[in-house]
Chains A and B, each alone.
Chain A
Amino acid sequence: MTTLRFTVDSALLGELGERLVEKVHYALVELVKNSYDADASYVTVKFIENDSGISEIHIIDDGIGMNFAEVQDYWMHIATTNKLNKDVSMRYGRPKTGSKGIGRFCCRRLGKKLTLITTGRNASKQEKTEVTFDWNAFTPGTKVTEITCQGKQETTKGDQTGTILIISDLTDEWTTRGYNYLKRQLAVLAANRGVRRDGFDEDPGFNIFIDAPSFEGEVRDLRSDLIKAGWGTVKAYINKSRKAVCELDALGIGRKTIVSEDKYSKLSDINMEIGIMILHRDQMRDTNIASMGTLREMLPEWGGVQIRYKGFRVYPYGDDDWLKIDEDRAYRRGTPNKELQAFAETLKGVDPGRALLSLSSMKNYIGNVEIGQAAKGFVMKANREGFLRSDEFEELRNFVRFAINWATIYHAFYIKEQTRKEAEASRASLQELIEQPIESQKVVEAAVNYLEKEFKSISSTLPTKQRQTASTAFYKATDAIVKHDQSNKEELKHLRLIASTSTLILIFSHEVKMLLGHLESSLLQLENIKESLGRTERNRIDDIQDWLRNSKGRLLELLDMTALIGVDSRKEAPKSLALHDRVESASKAFKVIADSYGITLDMNEIPSNIVVGPILEAELYAVLLNLLSNSIKSIIAADKERRIKISVKKSGGKVNMKFMDTGLGLNPDKHGDIFIPFIADIDGKLYSNLEKKLNPEDKYIVGTGSGLGLSIVKEILQARNGDIRILPPEGDWKAVLEVTLP
């Protein structure tokens, strides 16, 4: 029996180095990943230059290095399974990043010569190994195992381990594009600012320094560059007056400074630097380092504001939401403190009461707060997990949030400005095209006119039939654009009005609540006074108290309805709702006016067990209040019989609700127009008659008619798989509307 063996041709090294690693910058990234996987706390990449350009690349780290046996058994053993066996690094438990076993052959891809100098532990000794590889010797036709490499080995003193790779006789030219790729890839590794993993030593983080004179001119600290690459960097410290001094350097904002009015009397020797990383390509200052890809990869793991106390990281700050940023986002707390509200008011387009709604997630803030030697009042817990609760710590949180909130307000301003500038730029470019000034309100109109002119000149070259077809299509399309634009402008105008009114309603609700507080106080006063009075006077006081409590009850019901307006529809889930109860509540809102005009509401044909939905309670009330309000207005304007009837039936899985009234009625020819926005008085009779019949003090109850009510009702219903339509009047009724509810 004869034994046969495989041999390996040196050409394989070329295959591995050049085919697997297509570009030189990919190769260099792999070598830095090897340093990371070797638990280095830093790596320096040096591009050494001579007169003809980059001549050598040095990669120097302080990782665990290799002893002589490891160099021989692993480093010089092609496609070793060493990395496959261990998913995490030995000392710090870092998830390994390098590709399996090919990193070393990237050296061959980078240059024709490599000197490997590595120092690692061998039991209690420290071994330094130096080997030089001349890849030119590994020519096709030779066997890998037969080529020798010169090396030396020595035992050294001290405990400093690490690896130096010196690559010379470089194979390829480096480009700026390749260099930037390198920085972006390494930024993810540089984002590791230290972490603890169970069963391992504490990871101090990974610093990357790049010394590349031809590209940068000076040594770059990649982490520092990364922090500066996002939308903005905010630095802050406490000055001698114990006030916060914050400096923001941000895209579209430039450099800004603020000194707080509030004092942080318990803080001293505090500094912070935080990068604000927004996941938006247009909101990065240096896309050579930050990209959507790197940020997406980096932020979930490494985002957060860490605290360093006298140079050491304090856990768990940075891994948790100690600044309550995500908490504020979850609760949609958009209002900054008074000082920052006043500041927000100075920035055009920023809504001071909602200026913090654009706060990013805690992971989008990356940086450190340094508590120095002179700081007092910070005491670590016995388990070393954070500081004991103290006024100082609370102040620290407030100080950092002040800086972040201030920057957030600028960010809100930046967004507004960008949108405005983009609109302005498109207007300017159109102006240039048509060589005429355009008012900002007439951009669409001007664009359409320009298109029309161009179209005419182009279409004149077409045969008649084609010209006619194209003209019809063109004018229909442009007409739709113009009409839609006009309608949007009108709607926007009214929505602005409504939006401002809703704020007023909330202010009004707040004031009414205050009044109710006084009312409660007065009721108690009356209660106390009553005790000292005779029977007759006590009865009178009882009557007054009853009256006050009834009025208060009505006000509270209305307040509950206004509270529904403020409901965050994303949080509030649509529910199944008992229809009878809601009609009853909605009718109470009009009780005073219905009583004073003798209007009766018949609800006897609303079965108690009809449940509609899922629908938001606020939406159902919007439908009911609008329809009741319309019927009441119409009845008063008609000034005849004064009846409203609501009947409800269930059929085919849907609920049909009929609203019938004895008002003015609806002109059958105009039924189609009634749900069109801004048509408030289709026959022109309603408001002129109302003017005559309505007591002036009641006008506010029925509204002035924006013409939006029924269109909003229709939109709400359709969005919930329902609808509304007008039916021909039946019996004595003048108007019949049928609402279909889910």
Chain B
Amino acid sequence: MKKIKFLWLDDESKNTKRSVSDEFKMKEGFSKSSRFINVKNENVWNILEKDVYPTLDKYDLILIDHNFGGTQDTRLTGATVAESIRDRIKNRPIIAITNVPDIDIHKQSAYDDVIEFTRDISRKTDYLKSISEGYHVLSKKALADIDDLLKLMKAPKDDHERIKKIMPHELKSNITDPSFAYQFFKWSRFKFMERPGFLLDRLWASTLLGIKENRFSVVESLFEKAKYSGIFSKTSSDLWWQSQIKKLLFDTLADQPEMLPWRLGHALPGLTSNDIPLCHACKGEFPEVVAFTDETGKTSRPMHIKCTELHKEYESSLYFEDIRVMRAE
């Protein structure tokens, strides 16, 4: 893909975001002709009419501050602006960049995602590139059916039928809809990649293999083929296909009689029984799942299923792992 050209709308007074925008432009993969428009004390609608709407198709990515309290309309939010932009161009990602990420779910739905500026904007360049590239691919490649989409996701054949079963009907039946990219990104990023099941993050992957998280790096290269590299892959931290992890594990240790992956992983080359993780709750070996330590869901740890219970605020979802919480003593 050509270099990503972004448009950033913000009402900042201290030029911090402008400076970050300048640094983005310097980075590989971003176009130097990207623009930062400061709308402080301005009438945002006038700027949109004169300067933004007519040039929208030149940009690959739209970044918007959520809080536009510094503009002439102090009650305006980026969500309203995002809606008006998406009304005019469907196949561009729109990301909110804000200092106050506490945004109600209705307003959040106007954006593809919300990034907290002060927390992690400096680590989001790959993310922004990946989402822009994903949108670009979806807008250029005419998808005929769900199989084309599975190819873009680089989904293992073993998973095809199951993914087809859990993919929402609205997605499957609207592949040619102009807003498909937005709908697909939302599902893929916040359901498919977010909830462990088909894909696992580092903690889940290492727990499945029966290895301490900090020792997974020793055997990571063995599972390179299982790593998710499909569309939007860099919008999340590293993920691995669960089916492929198991396949590679059993292929590598074909001579072992043990069939439970979490009891087998420590036999991989370079690991010993010292690398077996302990259950956070009971300190016993071979935890099978990852669970929250309490209902706030702030911290996750490997645990035995018997030491956990279903988190009452989450529903079960076919082919995805249950969301569990530590059982109190």
Q: How far is the CA of A608 from the CA of B278 in the complex (A)?
A: 12
Q: Which of A479-531 contact B (CB under 8 A)?
A: 513-514, 516-518, 520-521, 523-525, 527-528, 531
Residues of B within 8 A of A531 (CB): 28
Q: Please pick, from B17, B119, B327, the residue contacting A609 in the complex, using a CB distance under 8 A.
A: B327
B57 at the interface (CB under 8 A from A): no
A556 in contact with B24 given A517-B99, A575-B295 (CB within 8 Å) = no
Q: How far is the CA of A608 from the CA of B125 in the complex (A)?
A: 37
Residue contact B23 to A514, C-beta cutoff 8 Å: no
A521 in contact with B19 given A576-B294, A576-B295, A609-B282 (CB within 8 Å) = yes
A682 at the interface (CB under 8 A from B): no
A37 at the interface (CB under 8 A from B): no
With A607-B329, A608-B293 already in contact, 7 other A-B pairs whose C-beta atoms are closer than 8 Å: A517-B17, A520-B20, A521-B16, A524-B121, A608-B283, A608-B301, A650-B329
Whose C-beta in chain B lies nearest to the C-beta of A394? B73
B281 at the interface (CB under 8 A from A): yes
Q: List 25 A-B contacts (CB under 8 A).
A: A391-B45, A398-B75, A514-B16, A516-B118, A517-B16, A518-B16, A520-B16, A520-B117, A520-B118, A520-B120, A524-B27, A524-B125, A527-B27, A528-B26, A556-B119, A578-B294, A581-B293, A581-B298, A581-B299, A608-B280, A609-B281, A609-B307, A609-B327, A610-B329, A611-B328
Q: How far is the CA of A525 from the CA of B19 in the complex (A)?
A: 9
A337 at the interface (CB under 8 A from B): yes
Q: Which of A648-689 contact B (CB under 8 A)?
A: 650
A127 at the interface (CB under 8 A from B): no
Q: Which of A518-569 contact B (CB under 8 A)?
A: 518, 520-521, 523-525, 527-528, 531, 556
A-B pairs, 9 with minimum CB distance: A611-B328, A524-B23, A578-B293, A609-B281, A516-B118, A578-B294, A523-B122, A517-B16, A520-B122
Q: How far is the CA of A647 from the CA of B192 in the complex (A)?
A: 41
Q: How far is the CA of A234 from the CA of B296 in the complex (A)?
A: 46
Interface Cβ pair total, 8 Å cutoff: 91
B250 to A: closest C-beta gap in Å: 32
A357 at the interface (CB under 8 A from B): no
Residues of B within 8 A of A518 (CB): 16
Residue contact B122 to A578, C-beta cutoff 8 Å: no
Q: How far is the CA of A579 from the CA of B233 in the complex (A)?
A: 36
Q: A423-462 interface mask toward B, CB cutoff 8 Å, 1 = contact, 0 = none?
A: 0000000000000000000000000000000000000000
Residues of B within 8 A of A607 (CB): 329
Residues of A within 8 A of B14 (CB): 514, 517
A617 at the interface (CB under 8 A from B): yes
Residues of B within 8 A of A580 (CB): 293
B326 at the interface (CB under 8 A from A): yes
Residues of A within 8 A of B119 (CB): 516, 556
Residue contact A513 to B23, C-beta cutoff 8 Å: no
Residues of B within 8 A of A524 (CB): 20, 23-24, 27, 121-122, 125
Measured as residues with beta carbon below 8 angstroms from the partner, the interface class of chain B is 35 or more
Q: How far is the CA of A513 from the CA of B12 in the complex (A)?
A: 14
A577 at the interface (CB under 8 A from B): yes
A578 in contact with B326 given A524-B122, A528-B26, A556-B119 (CB within 8 Å) = yes
B82 to A: closest C-beta gap in Å: 15
B314 to A: closest C-beta gap in Å: 15
Residues of B within 8 A of A611 (CB): 294, 326, 328-329
Residue contact A610 to B293, C-beta cutoff 8 Å: no
B312 to A: closest C-beta gap in Å: 11
Q: Which of B74-92 contact A (CB under 8 A)?
A: 74-75
Residues of B within 8 A of A523 (CB): 122
B12 to A: closest C-beta gap in Å: 9
Residues of B within 8 A of A575 (CB): 294-296
Q: Which of B33-73 contact A (CB under 8 A)?
A: 45, 73
Residues of B within 8 A of A337 (CB): 74
Q: How far is the CA of A541 from the CA of B294 in the complex (A)?
A: 38
Q: B284-299 interface mask toward A, CB cutoff 8 Å, 1 = contact, 0 = none?
A: 0000000001111011
Residue contact B294 to A581, C-beta cutoff 8 Å: yes
Residues of B within 8 A of A577 (CB): 294, 296
Residues of B within 8 A of A528 (CB): 23, 26-27
Q: Which of A587-617 contact B (CB under 8 A)?
A: 607-611, 617
Residue contact A521 to B99, C-beta cutoff 8 Å: no
Q: How far is the CA of A175 from the CA of B118 in the complex (A)?
A: 71
Residues of B within 8 A of A608 (CB): 280-281, 283, 293, 301, 326
Q: How far is the CA of A520 from the CA of B121 in the complex (A)?
A: 7
Q: How far is the CA of A324 from the CA of B16 in the complex (A)?
A: 32
Q: How far is the CA of A516 from the CA of B14 in the complex (A)?
A: 13
Residues of A within 8 A of B20 (CB): 517, 520-521, 524
Whose C-beta in chain A lies nearest to the C-beta of B119? A556
Q: A60-102 interface mask toward B, CB cutoff 8 Å, 1 = contact, 0 = none?
A: 0000000000000000000000000000000000000000000
Q: How far is the CA of A556 from the CA of B118 in the complex (A)?
A: 9
Q: How far is the CA of A581 from the CA of B293 in the complex (A)?
A: 8
Whose C-beta in chain B lies nearest to the C-beta of A555? B118
Q: Please pick, from A324, A516, A521, A576, the residue contacting B328 in the complex, using a CB distance under 8 A.
A: A576
Q: How far is the CA of A575 from the CA of B325 in the complex (A)?
A: 13
